[in-house]
Structure 1
Amino acid sequence: MRAQLLKITTPAINSFSIRRDIVPHVNNRWHYHREIELIYFKNGSGTQFIGDSIKPFKSGNIVLVGSHLPHYWKFDDAYFSPEEGKTTDVIVIHFCEDFLGECFLNLPENKKIRKILQESKKGIQVQDNSSQQIRMLMEQIFFSVGAKRLILLLEILAIIGNDIKGVTLSSTDFLSNTSIKDNSPISNIYNYILANFNQKISLVQLADFANISVASFSRYFKTHIGITYKHFLLDVRVGQACKLLIEGRMNVKQIRYECGFQNVVSFHKQFKELTGKSPLEYHPFPCVFAGR
């Protein structure tokens, strides 16, 4: 099923939005949005779908979901049954990466926050050692006004940034319709790969495009992106394959060609190495995204 783009409304007097959901069917669909999402399940349980990660969620869980990352929380059936008497209580914050201004994250003191916002593109499960403090701060934000809201959200992001035990969820980056906007050499390389990942891309091509020697390119790419260009290209291809499999509009063979894999055996092997599942095991999943 194709993920739906949601427009998040933020009041003009605020730089980010916060809401409290006490019913289980708010945005009960496979969706994504431009804003980063921080969600705290004060009460509720079910199945969590973030990118290609599928796992249970329960009361007390906190998750940070990056911009344009498809996600969906399917509450257990008991929460839809009046006879069961179960209620949900969820606090959700939506904010843009530059909610404190374009230059703020580039300050040296914000290095860890910048890093976790980058990692949130795969989703981050906040671990128990940090979650108790964050729960209290999210409750405070809900009842705060003015600059206090900004200070509390910044404090939360700092806590997550210092949490070395935070777990990323989606095993691969789901290819976004957005791309890096600046014109730096590494941004141009990044966008070139996103535009041409479905074709054969060689090291010589990339080095020539970037006007960098072949001998220097691999080191240059890894220094700026954090992984080798081969690993990045594979992440993009497998991430797009996951996205197309979840949408369910193509068969596995079509998806293999669409994502730039020329060899059947290589596709299945690399897909399973990154996701833990074969492409065929992915195919049945779209049925769980049918909304109520």
Structure 2
Amino acid sequence: MKVLPFTIPAAHDKTIMVQEDILPHFYPHLHRHEEIQLTLILKGEGTLLVGNNMHAFAANEIYLIGANMPHVFKSDAHYFETEEAAQAHSLTIFFNTDGKLASLFHLPEFKHITHFFAANYSGFRVPQRCFGEVRDLIFRIREANGMDQFILFFQLLKSLTATGDVAPLSAQVQPRNFSDHEGMRISNIYNYIMQHCHRDLTLEEVAAAACMTPPAFCRYFKKHTRVTFVTFLNEVRINEACKKLLEGGYDSVSAVAYDCGFNSITNFNRVFKTATGKSPRAYAADFLCKAG
């Protein structure tokens, strides 16, 4: 099953779709599809962009992404610097509650499951306490066929709804509808920002890359993402800074700030605390304390 920007072809002989990817790196383009997506990361790390929010992802994590939510699993930069064929490995299940499964999800017995997905429309990371059970079901669904696969899928739905309260992947109010052309345009803008965020990146440069004037770009970006260009750029940079701080090995906090595109340590500290609720040093110390 080939994933295209903002479109995913339907499989006419399957109710649920299972896709295994073994690639040099995860995907370059933001995309969306009508199916709910459940992805098990087996190998690789990078940034998951969902709606207008970013999350660091790594191996042995599972993410559910809601229907029609723009998203992309983007590998860290060093994955694009080598031609190794098996640096990224994922297993994904796609299912559409408004497609062939619609009549099933309208049954009284499925009422709580339907409400669960409606309440968590943007998606969530499967909590660690439920990871083993959900992972094992994903593996079993991959190996099963026919009715056996369908019964395991019911068990998977039950396990997902037992995760309890989970943090949404995106604060976006509702997923927006884009044409494929608009989707590709937004994807290219996101990619440009994420690829060049480590250096001084101006509004004028990004607007020119999008073939717009700065005022027109600002209006377009805010309309389609619900955040300003500066807010999104800062979120990308803070996401990168968080990963560097947690990896350790950095010379100083200021070195992390400058490596992530900030030209002022004062501004970096302010933006970082606004985004995470902690100073960079406290953020790293808190992680080390929990890891210990």
TM-score, normalising length: structure 1: 0.59
1:282 paired to 2:232: yes
In structure 1, the gaps of 5 or more residues are 179-241, 260-270
Q: Could you tell me how far apart the structure 1 residues matched to 2:40 and 2:102 are?
A: 27
Q: Could you tell me how far apart the structure 1 residues matched to 2:221 and 2:106 are?
A: 39
Structure 1 letter corresponding to 2:23: V
Structure 1 letter corresponding to 2:231: E
Measured against aligned partners, the alpha-carbon deviations of 1:219-266 in whole angstroms (never above 9, x if no partner) come to: xxxxxxxxxxxxxxxxxxxxxxx99x959767578539985xxxxxxx
Name the stretch that deviates more: 144-153 or 114-123: 114-123
Q: Could you tell me how far apart the structure 1 residues matched to 2:215 and 2:119 are?
A: 28
Structure 1 residue aligned with 2:6: 5
Question: Is the partner of 2:172 in helix, strand or coil?
Answer: coil
Give the drift of 1:103. Answer: 2.5
CA gap of 1:284–1:144, structure 2 versus 1, over 3 A, is same
Structure 1 letter corresponding to 2:5: Q
Structure 1 letter corresponding to 2:172: T
Indicate the RMSD between aligned Cα atoms, in angstroms.
Answer: 3.7
Matching of residues 119-268 of structure 1 within 5 Å = 119-177=119-177, 255=219
Verify the 8 A CA contact 1:51 1:69 in the aligned structure 2.
yes
1:32 paired to 2:4: no
Question: Structure 1 vs Structure 2: percent identity of aligned residues?
Answer: 22
Q: Could you tell me how far apart the structure 1 residues matched to 2:84 and 2:93 are?
A: 28
Structure 2 residue aligned with 1:61: 61
Give the drift of 1:18. Answer: 0.6
Q: Could you tell me how far apart the structure 2 residues matched to 1:256 and 1:33 are?
A: 22
Verify the 8 A CA contact 1:39 1:62 in the aligned structure 2.
yes
Measured against aligned partners, the alpha-carbon deviations of 1:259-284 in whole angstroms (never above 9, x if no partner) come to: 5xxxxxxxxxxx8xxx8xx6632256
Measured against aligned partners, the alpha-carbon deviations of 1:76-124 in whole angstroms (never above 9, x if no partner) come to: 2444455889632200111111455333212232233112322343121
Q: Could you tell me how far apart the structure 2 residues matched to 1:280 and 1:26 are?
A: 26
CA gap of 1:85–1:65, structure 2 versus 1, over 3 A, is closer
Question: Is the partner of 1:5 in helix, strand or coil?
Answer: coil
Q: Could you tell me how far apart the structure 2 residues matched to 1:101 and 1:143 are?
A: 21
Q: Could you tell me how far apart the structure 2 residues matched to 1:92 and 1:142 are?
A: 9
Q: Could you tell me how far apart the structure 2 residues matched to 1:129 and 1:56 are?
A: 19
Q: Could you tell me how far apart the structure 2 residues matched to 1:59 and 1:177 are?
A: 31
Q: Could you tell me how far apart the structure 2 residues matched to 1:82 and 1:29 are?
A: 19
Verify the 8 A CA contact 1:121 1:173 in the aligned structure 2.
no
CA gap of 1:59–1:175, structure 2 versus 1, over 3 A, is closer
Matching of residues 16-55 of structure 1 within 5 Å = 16-25=16-25, 27-55=27-55
Q: Could you tell me how far apart the structure 2 residues matched to 1:257 and 1:82 are?
A: 32
Structure 2 letter corresponding to 1:44: G
